[in-house]
Amino acid sequence: MLFIAALLAITSFGQLSVGYAEDVDYQKQVAPILQKYCVGCHNTDDFAGELDLATFAAMQEGGEHGPAIVAGKASDSLLIRAIVGDYDSVMPPEGSEAPSEQEVALLKAWIDAGAKGPVGGMETITLNVPKIQPQHSYEDPITSIDWSDDGKWVAVASFQHVDILDAATLKPV
């Protein structure tokens, strides 16, 4: 009797794992991972490797090396192979933050469950671009520099004016 209970528990656990894979939501779970690690280089504008991951439709088309995903076969999908290092080029590139093991497992589960797209359509995945304030204000940027033939003078041009400086001291003449 105890053996049967243990067997039922094991088979139920396996069904829960499969159920989890079927419940992976593209919009809520997959798109944020792609946004964080992939879309910075693989989008409509940059198009690295001719691969656009900014939309589900573009991801299905794939890039210069074929489809990024093979629905039902995570191990055959170039997206997963590149992320886990089982491909010619490893993504994200060295020095860039890579997805965690949990995020990779989620992508694999999504693909193995059929890689279902967004329900009811979805906007393009956009980049999270931080608003960075400039640290310095340059009111008069240099647009051109030239030296005299004898090297004694330097002309420094900015918008609407040119300053002539002594080349040795860089003081105005």
Here the contacts of 76-80 (C-beta below 8 Å, separation 24 or greater) are: 77/111, 79/53, 79/107, 79/111, 80/104, 80/107, 80/108, 80/111
- The whole-model pTM stands at 0.62
pLDDT of residue 97: 92
- Cβ–Cβ under 8 Å, residues 40 and 132: no
Cα–chain-centroid distance for residue 73? 22
User: How high is the pLDDT of residue 122?
Assistant: 65
Instruction: Give residue 86's pLDDT.
Output: 87
44, HSE (Cβ side, Cα atoms, 13 Å) = 10
Q: What is the pLDDT of residue 133?
A: 82
Question: For the chain, which residues score pLDDT lower than 50?
Answer: 1-21
Size of the chain, expressed as the number of residues it contains? 173
Domain residue ranges of the chain, discontinuous segments joined by +: 2-112, 133-173
- SS3 of residue 125 by DSSP: coil
Instruction: Answer for the pair 30, 71: CB distance below 8 angstroms, yes or no.
Output: no
